């Protein structure tokens, strides 16, 4: 895959998904374009979910929300079709996966609302460009994620604990990472905690609740960012009659440039 290759822009990735030419993870595709988590809910649950995201902006930074029934993410990807433009979907009924299709035309309804939630790929790219190590990328595994004892602000039926991702960094790199990722509040922003896992209810860094464990080297601190798994966990624990999400790692690739999300 090259910069000028067929999957080098958000639009080209979306079209490849739509045409059945791409059904894999999107990490590394369309470098420089922001990718997003997808949550689709019937309007009956969507209002409370919108409120949940508004009240918990660090784990749930909303890049775009559609009007009911609208299939285009008009704010971040004009011309897109959220029913076809991701590599794959998970369909949940009452909190259980019932189907994992590559498109969801057959499920579409006029009352479905789509939420696009910022993704850590954007701030990880910024860390890499600044020469900071990102351990799980070095190792080619998933970022380790942990449930904390920090309660999210509830909204309607949506409630749950903050989920964090962890990246180990030497102290001076942790300081630099605060400055760099703090520039991107639309994609989780600055870390929420560092150094002391027990203070946020994490007992064992070697046993993440999601993703893969990564080693912490001598002199490194664990640094914790609010994670987009938070809204998914809150969503599924409420067991709504229908929810549709992206497949883990297979994101919606927008037309927004990562750098357009930087505040300074």
Contacting positions for a copy of itself (CB under 8 A)? 171-172, 174-176, 178-179, 182, 190-196, 199, 219, 221, 264
- Closest distance of CB 6 from a copy of itself, Å: 37
- Closest distance of CB 164 from a copy of itself, Å: 12
- Closest distance of CB 169 from a copy of itself, Å: 11
Angle at which helices 43-55 and 229-237 cross, to 10°: 140
Helix and strand numbers (H, E) in the chain are: 6, 11
Q: Which is nearer to a copy of itself, 159 or 176 (CB)?
A: 176
Cβ-contact 236, 243 below 8 angstroms: yes
Q: Which is nearer to a copy of itself, 3 or 264 (CB)?
A: 264
- Closest distance of CB 224 from a copy of itself, Å: 9
Cβ-contact 14, 71 below 8 angstroms: no
Tokens of 147: 């449930």
Q: Which is nearer to a copy of itself, 89 or 224 (CB)?
A: 224
Distance CA(22)–CA(5), nearest Å, equals: 14
Q: Which is nearer to a copy of itself, 53 or 190 (CB)?
A: 190
- Closest distance of CB 33 from a copy of itself, Å: 24
Q: Which is nearer to a copy of itself, 42 or 57 (CB)?
A: 57
Distance CA(91)–CA(15), nearest Å, equals: 22
Q: Which is nearer to a copy of itself, 153 or 179 (CB)?
A: 179
Structure letter (DSSP) for residue 28: T
Give, rounded to a whole angstrom, the gap between the first and last alpha carbons of the chain. 31
Distance CA(170)–CA(99), nearest Å, equals: 43
Distance CA(196)–CA(199), nearest Å, equals: 6
- Closest distance of CB 92 from a copy of itself, Å: 33
Instruction: Kindly list the distances between the CA atom of residue 157 and the CA atoms of 27, 46, 146, in Å, as whole numbers in the listed order.
Output: 32, 11, 22
């Amino acid at each position: 895959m090259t910069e000028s290759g067929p999957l080098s822009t958000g639009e080209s990735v979306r079209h490849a998904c739509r045409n059945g030419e791409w059904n894999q993870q999107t990490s590394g595709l369309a470098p420089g374009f922001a990718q997003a988590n997808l949550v689709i809910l019937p309007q009956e649950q969507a209002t409370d979910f919108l409120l949940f995201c508004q009240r918990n902006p660090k784990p749930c930074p909303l890049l775009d929300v559609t009007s009911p029934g609208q299939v285009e993410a008009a704010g971040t990807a004009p011309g897109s079709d959220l029913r076809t433009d991701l590599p794959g979907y998970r369909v949940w009924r009452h909190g259980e996966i019932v189907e994992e299709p590559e498109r969801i035309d057959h499920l579409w309804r006029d009352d479905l609302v789509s939420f696009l939630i910022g993704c850590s790929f954007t701030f990880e790219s910024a860390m890499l460009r600044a020469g900071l190590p990102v351990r799980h990328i070095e190792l080619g595994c998933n970022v380790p994620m942990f449930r904390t004892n920090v309660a999210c602000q509830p909204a309607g039926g949506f409630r749950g604990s903050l989920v964090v991702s962890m990246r180990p960094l030497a102290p001076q790199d942790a300081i630099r990472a605060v400055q760099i990722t703090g520039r991107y509040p639309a994609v989780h922003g600055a870390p929420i905690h560092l150094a002391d896992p027990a203070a946020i209810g994490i007992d064992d860094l070697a046993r993440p609740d999601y993703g893969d464990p990564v080693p912490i080297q001598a002199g490194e601190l664990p640094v914790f960012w609010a994670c987009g798994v938070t809204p998914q966990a809150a969503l599924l624990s409420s067991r709504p009659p229908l929810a549709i999400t992206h497949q883990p790692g297979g994101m919606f690739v927008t037309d927004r440039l990562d750098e357009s999300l930087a505040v300074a």
